[in-house]
Amino acid sequence: MIEAQSLAKLYDKFTAVEDLSLTVRPGEVLGLVGCNGAGKTTTLRCLAGIIPPTRGSVRLCGHDLAADPIAAKRELAFFSDEPRLFDYLTVEQHLAFVARIYQVADYRERMTPLLEELEIADKTHQLPGELSRGMKQKLAIACGLIHNPRAILFDEPLTGLDPIGIRRMKASILRRAQEGAAIIISSHLLPLLEEVCSHVLILGGGKVLANGTLEEVVHQFSGEGSEVPPDLEEIFFRATAESQK
């Protein structure tokens, strides 16, 4: 479970995120959408413990991120939009390193199916510099998933992936949600979110414009008497336009 209560992040006088509260239960996938500069990445980085929130609290799988960061982070995987890798470690060495950090005793057994699922099983001895952008993304994902996290944060997870990679990634996200993980995905690819997300949170200027299940948000922004429910893209435009009024 991922919970944030009255989260706020200020940079000097600029408010990046204001009074954000959310709850993502096991099995739920929350799509975080918003324009550029809406505060999506800041929110995710606060939830991951990378930057401290100015106000508010975060709980991951019941552990308060500020009070018990180690227990909270053991349950967490965070994937940034740019894969963060060590240039001098091979694919296999990356996994060995992360396994030791997270104390994954059986990482060798987990590694092979994970790499096969991500289609980089034949790259185990290659360095990041020898991998394409998409392969690097897959390696970062493998590193994040090797310890079976129960709270997963994706920031633009499909950047650089090919169509097959995108399809597999979507299936992987849904499977992990079915297995009980709480997932937040930040993306501008609204059709993707529509496919995989059970919940949506729309951010605008650091404030929550809409938050709820996909159906609830659709209902909130449906026009009077419209027969065909609007898609997420239309909802996004309506929500952001409303906030700008």
Report the interface residues with another protein, using CB under 8 A: 9, 11, 42, 45, 48-52, 69-74, 76, 78, 80, 84, 86-90, 93, 96-97, 99-108, 125-127, 129
User: Does residue 137 contact residue 159 with C-beta atoms inside 8 Å?
Assistant: yes
Q: Which is nearer to another protein, 93 or 243 (CB)?
A: 93
Q: CA 30, CA 198: separation in Å to the nearest integer? A: 6
CA distance 194 to 199: 9
* Least CB distance to another protein at residue 86 (A): 6
Smallest distance, another protein to C-beta of residue 40, A: 14
Nearer to another protein, 45 or 238 (CB): 45
Contact 217, 208 (CB under 8 A): no
Q: Which is nearer to another protein, 24 or 193 (CB)?
A: 24
How does 73-105 read in b/e, with b if 16+ C-beta sit within 10 Å?
bbbbbbbbbebebeeebbbeebbbebbeebebe
User: Could you give the CA distance from residue 205 to residue 4 in angstroms, rounded to a whole number?
Assistant: 18
| Smallest gap from residue 119 Cβ to another protein (A) | 21
Which CB, 42 or 211, lies closer to another protein?
A: 42
We find the least distance from the C-beta atom of residue 97 to another protein, in angstroms, to be: 5
